[in-house]
Structure 1
Amino acid sequence: MAHVYMYAQRTADDRIAFGGRGVPYRYGSRVDADGSTAPGTVRQLTALLRTFFPAAVRAPIAHAWSGVLGVPRDWAATVGFDRATGLGWAGGYVGTGVTATNLAGRTLADLVLGRDAALTRLPWVNHRAHRWEVEPLRWLAVRGLYAAYRAADRVEAATGTARTSVVARIADAISGH
């Protein structure tokens, strides 16, 4: 079940923060207004949590929350600094935010200070991703890719193989992974 984004992390008070797999994309890059998590997403994540951690079958689900995940077209993070304007930027972490924000902060510090350092020579410095496709192609592609990845997860789970399915390899080629 590795193709549709999800995460699990132990909290400081020995609980499990478990998430992902929500609505993958809303037409026109819209976000929801109330921040509530769709009941279907909560059910799906609860079932997955209990599959991964059978001892948690009777554990109550304390909270559900939602957020926006901004994804660059090439799924590559970027850090940059424009010396002329004094503006810096960092983003596009796509699920690796905790580690990437730390590295981005250190990289930005070196860029702002004008240091020629190992961090300022990383490929993500001043990286520019291609623009996303126009609607409705973007919506159709994202929805289709998520469906393909869900199908790949089901095929791999049913066959018990650790080998990536053909469906996932095709979806990876289309998505740029």
Structure 2
Amino acid sequence: MNFLPQLKDVAITHRWGGTLAIPRNWLPGLRLDKLSGVGFLGGYVGEGVAAANLAGRTMADLILERRSDLVSLPWVGVRSRKWEPEPLGWLGVRVSRRFMGAADTSETKKQKTAKLAMRAAHVFGETELSYYLWT
């Protein structure tokens, strides 16, 4: 209640948590369907303020058909496969977090990238993420 001290006497009876607007490959992306005029920007995964600003400027260039450096960034046109239906998605995230926690422990001890981390990223569909992290 540090953020909202006015609510210190209010009983919190419910909570919600889960994956929200996180793409399957954990990479941000944007695309524009010129035919329909519909654009998609998102998947910032914790980098929302800076990424949203850059994505907005990039989308403006796409809409106005400007040939800027922004429209050639690697996140333009990125698509991620859909998440598995629940509860499989939830289970996959839980298992992958355990794998990655074990990998973090290994990396802390050995001071090098854990093979478990690379394998887990591949198994759990984060091959693009593993490419950016471990190459």
Question: Would you call these one fold, judging by a TM-score over 0.5?
Answer: yes
1:162 and 1:97 map into 2 onto residues whose CA distance is: 30
Q: Which residue of 2 aligns with 1:4?
A: none
2:18 and 2:35 map into 1 onto residues whose CA distance is: 34
The gaps in structure 2 that reach 5 residues or longer are 1-13, 131-135
Greater fraction of residues in helix = 2
| Percent of pairs with identical residues | 43
The gaps in structure 1 that reach 5 residues or longer are 1-32, 36-65
Q: Which residue of 1 aligns with 2:49?
A: 98
Give 1:121 deviation, angstroms: 2.3
1:103 and 1:90 map into 2 onto residues whose CA distance is: 10
Q: How many residues are aligned here? A: 113
What's the CA shift string for 1:30-63, capped at 9, x where partnerless? xxx546xxxxxxxxxxxxxxxxxxxxxxxxxxxx
Matched, 1:162 2:111: yes
What's the CA shift string for 1:125-152, capped at 9, x where partnerless? 2222111223343222211111111122
- The code of the aligned residue for 1:173 comes to H
Structure 1 runs of 4+ aligned residues shifted over 6 Å read: none
User: Which one of 25, 37, 40 corresponds to residue 89 of structure 1?
Assistant: 40
Q: Contact (CA 8 Å) 1:69, 1:94: kept in 2 or not? A: no
Give 1:117 deviation, angstroms: 1.9
Calculate the TM-score normalised by the size of structure 2: 0.68
